[in-house]
């Protein structure tokens, strides 16, 4: 029986998980950026000059990509910072694109000029995700420190759409742009796209900074429910099972993905078949979690992956969370717990309150989404 792409991807992911292959990778090429977003988890607080001096070279990234391919990576995301801010991004991207990966890009879109678009069209990525941080220059000024970035981002999205490149729009909502959420949805729909929401704003990965401007748990819960209603409006009858003609394959895939949640402390595929390499060459489980870590540049990619996988399997669980009656409704994980509390084994007040607020909202008969920003947290 022929497989569609969703089925094939699930089958490959299952195989990689069972063999603990590094199937899904993310390369953080830089943390330099032309925006200065207060909620950015990757910002290190260093000057651009210092960052540039410490970034891995183009040749090193290309070499790591070759090793990753040989080790079993198929899906590779190139992210930042802002990837188009790197002067040698074109060299890195062209070499990696020729290797056979399914390459995706994360960008703020503001540096995708006509010149960049003419080049990118020749070797388009499988997908590019563009971050939209507001619905006006004024909001962009408050969130990103770059008022001109608003129109430049829209221009970048327009160019990508006109070129036929698969583009997605996502946003991160904090106090400074919460009032723009409805207009951001409209802007996405103007491009015949859906607005995707980052469901959690993490303290800084490297700085531990918690002054991110994120919403209070109650505000975030209301926002999440609002977006759930929006997604259900867009695809009211969609069921994951409908992608599969072969229901046996679907149920095997479902069992595999559920196994993620039950094997070790990570309720996802971090350290099981996925990894993240930081701008200065550390391999870590995911973008927000700085430990455990290994060093692919000095250890070699394969040894670094094996080292990381072992260390991830040894990360302790939070016993308090394990015993909590709301565990099944909570999205806590080692990365979130560590960033919130400084420990893998302490419950995070923000996540606890968010879970309670979510439960409370989903038991209410009527929803009120007005006034997302009534309090600070």
Contact yes or no for 111/124 (Cβ under 8 A): no
How far is Cα 374 from Cα 280, in angstroms, rounded to an integer? 39
DSSP 320: H
The per-residue pLDDT for 182 is 97
Nearest to 73 by CA among 291, 296, 250: 296
Sheet holding 195-197, edge to edge: 195-197, 167-171, 127-131, 102-107, 75-79, 24-28, 274-277, 283-284
How many helices and strands (H and E) does the chain possess?
A: 15, 8
What separation, in Å, do the N-terminal and C-terminal C-alpha atoms of the chain show? 53
Nearest to 351 by CA among 220, 183, 188: 220
The per-residue pLDDT for 372 is 44
Would you give per-residue pLDDT tens digits along the chain (377 residues)? 455 555 666 667 767 666 788 999 999 999 999 999 989 888 765 577 888 889 999 999 999 999 999 999 999 999 999 999 999 999 999 999 999 999 999 999 999 999 999 999 999 999 999 999 999 999 999 999 999 999 999 999 999 999 999 999 999 999 999 999 999 999 999 999 999 999 999 988 877 777 889 999 999 999 999 999 988 875 655 565 555 556 666 666 667 667 666 677 888 889 989 999 999 999 999 999 999 999 999 999 999 999 999 999 999 999 999 899 988 889 899 999 999 999 999 999 999 999 999 999 887 544 444 444 444 44
Contact yes or no for 244/250 (Cβ under 8 A): yes
Give, to the nearest 10 degrees, the angle between helix 58-71 and helix 301-313: 70
The per-residue pLDDT for 369 is 41
Cα–Cα distances in angstroms (integers) from residue 88 to residues 23, 61, 281, 337, in the given order: 26, 11, 17, 36
The per-residue pLDDT for 269 is 86
At a CB cut-off of 8 Å and minimum separation 6, what does 231 contact?
194
Nearest to 103 by CA among 78, 120, 80, 85: 78
pTM of the model: 0.89
At a CB cut-off of 8 Å and minimum separation 6, what does 293 contact?
282, 283, 284, 308, 311
Cα–Cα distances in angstroms (integers) from residue 177 to residues 151, 197, 224, in the given order: 16, 13, 15
The per-residue pLDDT for 232 is 83
Contact yes or no for 377/217 (Cβ under 8 A): yes
Cα dihedral across residues 58, 64, 68, 73: positive or negative: negative
């Amino acid at each position: 029986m022929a497989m569609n792409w969703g089925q094939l991807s699930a089958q490959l992911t299952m195989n990689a998980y069972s063999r603990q292959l590094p199937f899904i990778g993310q390369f953080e090429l830089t943390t330099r950026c032309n925006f200065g977003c207060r909620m950015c988890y990757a910002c290190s607080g260093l000057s651009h000059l210092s960052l540039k001096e410490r970034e891995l070279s183009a040749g090193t990234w290309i070499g790591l990509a070759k090793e990753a391919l040989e080790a079993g990576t198929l899906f590779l995301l190139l992210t930042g910072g802002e990837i188009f801010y790197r002067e040698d991004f074109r060299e890195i991207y062209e070499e990696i694109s020729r290797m056979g990966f399914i390459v995706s890009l994360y960008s703020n879109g503001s540096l995708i000029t006509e010149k960049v678009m003419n080049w990118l069209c020749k070797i388009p990525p499988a997908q590019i995700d563009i971050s939209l941080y507001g619905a006006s220059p004024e909001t962009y000024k408050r969130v990103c420190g770059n008022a001109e970035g608003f129109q430049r981002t829209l221009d970048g999205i327009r160019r990508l759409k006109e070129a036929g490149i698969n583009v997605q729009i996502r946003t991160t909502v904090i106090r400074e742009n919460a009032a723009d959420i409805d207009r951001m949805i409209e802007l996405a729909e103007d491009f015949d796209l859906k607005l995707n929401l980052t469901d959690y704003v993490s303290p800084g990965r490297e700085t531990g900074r918690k002054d991110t401007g994120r919403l209070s748990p109650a505000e975030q819960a209301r926002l999440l429910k609002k977006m759930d209603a929006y997604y259900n409006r867009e695809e009211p009858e969609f069921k994951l099972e409908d992608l599969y003609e072969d229901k046996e394959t679907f149920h095997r895939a479902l069992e595999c993905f559920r196994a993620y949640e039950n094997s070790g402390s990570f309720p996802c595929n971090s350290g099981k078949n996925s990894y993240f390499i930081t701008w200065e060459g550390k391999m870590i489980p995911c973008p927000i979690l700085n430990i455990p870590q290994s060093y692919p540049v000095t250890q070699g990619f394969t040894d670094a992956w094996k080292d990381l996988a072992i260390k991830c399997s040894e990360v302790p669980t939070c016993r308090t969370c394990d015993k909590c009656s709301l565990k099944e409704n909570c999205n806590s994980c080692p990365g979130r717990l560590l960033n919130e509390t400084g420990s893998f084994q302490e419950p995070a007040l923000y996540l606890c309150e968010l879970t309670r607020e979510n439960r409370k909202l989903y038991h209410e008969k009527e929803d009120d989404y007005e006034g997302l920003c009534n309090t600070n947290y």
